Structure 1
């Protein structure tokens, strides 16, 4: 797996691009049946007949997804030791996110959702500005089931779906992580953007997320997603630049600073295209909709949809 550090126009580290060989096969696999049914499975589970991590059904109007989580994620990396976390410094260090991105890329190479093609691990994307109220708890879908409402999403509000229940604030490991929250050494929480859900799911860091919530803090985040395609999205940034320049031309008192700012904004907008939030690939579910219904009957018989 090849890696490329992506930097902002000013040179600050922004994201890590991962170019995964086409031969790679994900252990976390998203499958779809028909136009509305989906299932997320952990193929690394010891039991080949283990329940899926998530079953979902998109409503007919595509306003949201009803979901149920029959089983928790067990294949996340081993808990991070405090000494290892301190060795990588704190979030005040300009290279801290880059160090953790490379470390988490090592973990993802050993197992996770990576399949062939380009991926991005980013610390700062528009949709990671998750809504944290005054008490610092993010808006999270309920477990084991609930609904993700697409109409509730804005550029400032995107959910995090844990793939297992969060431990209580007084759990031993959470208490240890709470100390790291306070001293600024808490490792980032790794989340994966799944486009069909329009939601992030937690791949690594459930207890770290719980510790941040218990301490009323916003956790550091690293977001795994697919990059956008350039040709499909360039019109937006370029169109915005053209509108800004037209406004500047029409304003007789606009100066050089306005032209400079318009150019910088175009550079930022184009830069975001390589960061992520492209569509997530899903595989056809063998057996189609009947197979999906069979999974529901076996693993979520009481799921009310």
Structure 2
């Protein structure tokens, strides 16, 4: 039995940032990152490689090879029902995203094969950023202008994601080989299987999209790939793309905490400066909130960040190379082979 609990993560101004999920014990995991020498990586789903990846020698990016032959191309979580959508509606728009965080936390942990190993996790929303004025209200925003970001925070939460419409995949015909360019941010959105845009499920989600009742897309951010992998919501995303209505995302990531040692001399200089400002407050108006924020920043030595753990089981990568080479040859993609094996762009 899996032991877990959650709590709301808030910043210093008590603004909600996401749901922190602590997993103490588990019975297994459906997804796992594996690593080895020469920058070799593999994302396994149910014991089979879904993505093979290798980091470039100059650390400027990564090659991704999508395994279209993966035998487990099915939903990892139970299908969402109409009752689930109606329950979210009753939660209200203000509490909607918090409700969906809790919903997916339960689904992730109570699935037949839990996805998450014992660790500290975070579910954080990533919402559409509206264009700056001037822009035409009620006009459909083209996909190329879609941009999604995590909530603003005044705490040291280095788990800030962004995603652009231009980095969305072709869900109906996913690319088998992709180059993720880290110089330009990476952060691609990766699907796990092809989607039938004419399926009844997609049509139903299109209807919910028009009703402004589309649940968020659940993705997992994997640091080694600098990309988001869709865990749940392929059909919902296809429905949103077809309707031209931007969806909302929930990003799952591991969560770690570290502390840093401040420079005492610098701290004292800041304290003296704040003391001078405090004296001036007696004569002229000053921003007390800003001074308080500076003090909190001065003594809060913790920061949160999002790593991705992997198991070092790929050895020297020889088996990895044989699998990738055979796969590329079967799909007539030999032109990528040398670049991938040499780890060059």
TM-score by shorter chain over 0.5: yes
Q: In 1, distance between residues paired with 2:310 and 2:107?
A: 22
**CA 97–219 in structure 1, closer or farther in 2 if over 3 Å, else same:** same
Deviation (angstroms), 1:70:
1.0
Q: Contact 1:90–1:185 (CA<8 Å) still a contact in 2?
A: no
**CA 162–5 in structure 1, closer or farther in 2 if over 3 Å, else same:** same
**1:200 match: secondary structure:** strand
Q: In 2, distance between residues paired with 1:266 and 1:57?
A: 44
The equivalences for 1:129-148 within 5 A come to 129-132=162-165, 138-140=167-169, 143-148=175-180
**1:53 match: secondary structure:** strand
The aligned counterpart of 1:25 is: 28
Larger Rg: 2
The equivalences for 1:246-261 within 5 A come to 256-257=286-287, 259-261=288-290
Q: Which runs of 5+ in 2 are unaligned?
A: 127-149, 151-158, 341-345
Say which is worse superposed, 261-270 or 85-94, in terms of deviation: 261-270
Deviation (angstroms), 1:167:
3.5
Query: How many residues align structurally?
Result: 283
Q: Contact 1:285–1:291 (CA<8 Å) still a contact in 2?
A: no
Normalization by structure 1: what TM-score?
A: 0.78
The aligned counterpart of 1:5 is: 8
**1:300 match: secondary structure:** helix
**CA 263–217 in structure 1, closer or farther in 2 if over 3 Å, else same:** farther
Deviation (angstroms), 1:202:
0.5
**1:89 match: secondary structure:** helix
**2:317 match: secondary structure:** helix
Deviation (angstroms), 1:33:
1.5
After superposition, the CA RMSD in angstroms is: 3.6
The aligned counterpart of 1:193 is: 221
Work out whether 1:82 is the aligned partner of 2:114.
Answer: no
**Whose strand fraction is larger, Structure 1's or Structure 2's?**
2
**CA 130–267 in structure 1, closer or farther in 2 if over 3 Å, else same:** farther
Q: Contact 1:25–1:116 (CA<8 Å) still a contact in 2?
A: no
Deviation (angstroms), 1:74:
2.2
The aligned counterpart of 1:117 is: 119
> Which residue among 10, 23, 39 is the counterpart of 2:42?
39
Q: In 1, distance between residues paired with 2:252 and 2:301?
A: 17
Q: Contact 2:40–2:314 (CA<8 Å) still a contact in 1?
A: no
Residue-by-residue CA offset, 1:137-165 (whole Å, 9 max, x unaligned): 65448622211111111xxx732111223
Normalization by structure 2: what TM-score?
A: 0.70
The aligned counterpart of 2:153 is: none
Q: Contact 1:91–1:184 (CA<8 Å) still a contact in 2?
A: no
The aligned counterpart of 1:55 is: 52
Q: Contact 1:70–1:300 (CA<8 Å) still a contact in 2?
A: no
